[in-house]
Chain A
Amino acid sequence: SYKLTQPPSVSVSPGQTARITCSGDALPKQYAYWYQQKPGQAPVLIIYKDTERPSGIPERFSGSTSGTKVTLTISGVQAEDEADYYCQSADSSATYSVFGGGTKLTVL
């Protein structure tokens, strides 16, 4: 079945820019969504339809897309951004959804 691939971990210093990628063959056809999950909490939607930001999500979170890869960019990373990040999208026929394997963001 369909898979989305993310790097297991990304590390950045405070104030730097973090980029988390998500690759999948159907991404040129299907939107991607990004979630932030902190320990013991439910995930929170931070990017939808590749690049849109829900209300209440800080502007430092942004999304972009290029072919079979989508990228979550966090500009000016803060300590509170340390969390697991997951991408989500659908298979090429939009029959079902999948999540990526998750990326642990460490703020050094």
Chain B
Amino acid sequence: QITLKESGPTLVKPTQTLTLTCTFSGFSLTTNKVGVAWIRQPPGKALEWLALIYWNDDKRYSPSLKSRLTITQDTSKNQVVLTMTNMDPVDTGTYYCAHRMVTTDGFDFWGQGTMVTVSS
């Protein structure tokens, strides 16, 4: 059974760097075609795709946030880490990690999400 869980700070100050960790089980990021994505959702607003890392370490980023994002994997720990620099109050929201379907680009398993507030 595939599970994912996000962890990280609940409160960060403006200009700080956010580091979120997605710890997963039930699959391996060394398996062909597997991927893990980060998606966020400001309160009361739409989902926003942020970044994706594939089994082969190929990384994809949202064009509008690319300069601020870094996604990495630690296969020994079954973790994917997202860092976002220069945090701003508009970055407040729930951050989800999700498992990319092996055969196509949909996300079939999601974490519960972690709420991040950006405030001084």
Contacts and interface: CB of A to CB of B under 8 A. Distances in A.
A38 to B, nearest CB: 13
Contact of B110 (A1, A42, A94, A98): A42
Given A42-B96, A49-B106, A96 B61 contact: yes
A31 B104 contact: yes
Given A96-B62, A96-B63, A102 B105 contact: no
Contacts, number: 65
A86 B96 contact: no
A48 B104 contact: yes
What interface size band does chain B fall in?
A: 20 to 34
Interface in A52-108: 54, 86, 88-90, 94-102
Contacts of B49: 88, 96-99
A97 B105 contact: yes
Interface residues of A, number: 25
A45 B112 contact: no
A45 B113 contact: no
Contacts of A49: 104, 106
Contact of B47 (A90, A96, A99): A99
A86 B46 contact: yes
A99 B48 contact: yes
B93 to A, nearest CB: 13
Nearest to B101: A48
Nearest to B104: A49
A45 B106 CA distance: 8
Interface of B: 37, 39, 46-49, 52, 60-64, 96, 101, 104-108, 110-113
